[in-house]
Structure 1
Amino acid sequence: MSRHAPRTGVRRYVNLVNLGGLLIVVCTTLPLLWMVSSSLKGPGEISATPPSLLPDHPTLDNYDIAFVRNGIGRYLLNSVVVASASTVLILSLAFLAGYALARLPLRGRGAIMTALLMLSVFPPIALLVPLFLMERQAGLLNSYPGLVIPYVALNLPFAIWILRNYLSGIPRELEEAATVDGAGPMRTALTVILPLARPGLFTAGVFSFTATWSEFLLALTFNGADDRRTVPVGIALFTSQYQVPYGVIFAGAMVATVPIALLVLIFRRSIVSGMTTGAVKG
């Protein structure tokens, strides 16, 4: 066998990997490009046959209708308030719980982690009716707390899982040194561990913010008032009985996608660090 055969096999493998990566990029980018293009088209261009990827006569009329006539700005504000408040509460509780699971001598730790993993994939639709009855009884319908409370409860298990795995990778010597200096467990967690846990917090925060930002079912059920609707619900209600304004819907989808895209781009390195550390050390 030629000595160049292994090298040729490696090159073929690398080429296949590169080709697969290129296909993934195309498959994920093309829908986004189509959404951007359609948001700049008029009604005639969107329904034209055959369709065109780029608009012949770009226009911002769809964005004008989305903001001025359909009030998507109010929906954006509601989503920002709900998603931000939910994320802050989730991270605050998840850090404390993750630190306890990573460091304190707790009995049944494995069972707790298994339960958290099961709860993180539990379908929210199974809780829709009892949650609605509870919120109606408590007077929380059509309010920010009416969404924040269930969002925190539903997304907290996964955030705890991520932070527990990340915190397990932080050397214990740092805590031992803080203990020698006289710091208690809470002070150690907040002053020593918390600054080191920023990549894990960013990872859990981005996942939590994205989940609450894009959630539709609970928002539609609990906040039916127009001044409390979030972006996904508002965009879904752009349609009328007689027409579906696809251009306006695409424009609204673009407006709703930009905050998430910016969040991921800004914190991409921290997200990758938090995910890989949790995977290796967990």
Structure 2
Amino acid sequence: MKTAHLLAAVLPILAVLAFAPAVPVLSPFLCLVAVMAVGTLWIRALIREPLTPVARLGLSVVAGLVSLPMTALVLYVVGVRIEGRGLALGLAIVAVALGAYVIVARPSIVGSPHPGHWVGPEEHPGTTKTRRLSTTAAVGVPALLALVIGGTATVVYQRLPHPAEPGYTSLALAGWAAGIARPVAIPPAGLEVPLEVSSAGEPGQTAALQVQIGRRPAGPGLPVAISPGTRPLRVHVPAPADGCLHSIRISLGAASTVFYGRGPFPARILTRRGPVAC
């Protein structure tokens, strides 16, 4: 297929992908065809030697797939939202540029090599040399594309402005409490629970360390200074007033952690009509 015919076929496909609603089976197929066509244009623009059908197919797939992240990177750099329409239009620009280069600067390139280079019972003059060149191209072109595009992407990403990561304060169970996997039996004297508080990217502050059993606070909050870094804490969890299962929520400002526990008393709650089971 001539380059002009290939452009005439791939540009309407990219226009459909850019402006038409996505169709579950048809759209992926059209995308695959477009990627293969762009990859073929890359091969015609970069490789002068004839290739076997297998080598040409493999290189077209690699070059076409590499064109997708390259186009997405360019869209990101110029501030265009990365979505299907933008990628399709970007691939259309790549296809037009490659096609124009092939038609103007490489007018002697054709779609496929002469069969005499590859098939037949006898070796033809120059076949071994051409095969070596094809093998070198099959390995070298994908490696060169990956190196150039990957290196460019890395350099561009490093030079782009990177906003500071948002600060955080987290609270987690530590020590023996980190292994809690089932409701904990809380003795009458209560339970000492080890904690770990971590903070980064936020100024030092003071927050209330609060224990909540079920929906009720277990006492007044204890003020705790929060500073950057990680530090251990311990909090006293009193025994619930009954033996029912309760959620034990420990909070420090907006950060919190939770586990479940039962008190040492019978699993009954008091009502106006007397004690009933939980």
Q: Which has the higher contact order (CA 8 A, sep 6+)?
A: 1
Which has more strand, going by share of residues?
2
Choose 1 or 2 for highest CA Rg.
2
Common topology (TM > 0.5): no
Range of TM-score over shorter length: under 0.3
**TM-score for the superposition, normalised by structure 2:** 0.21
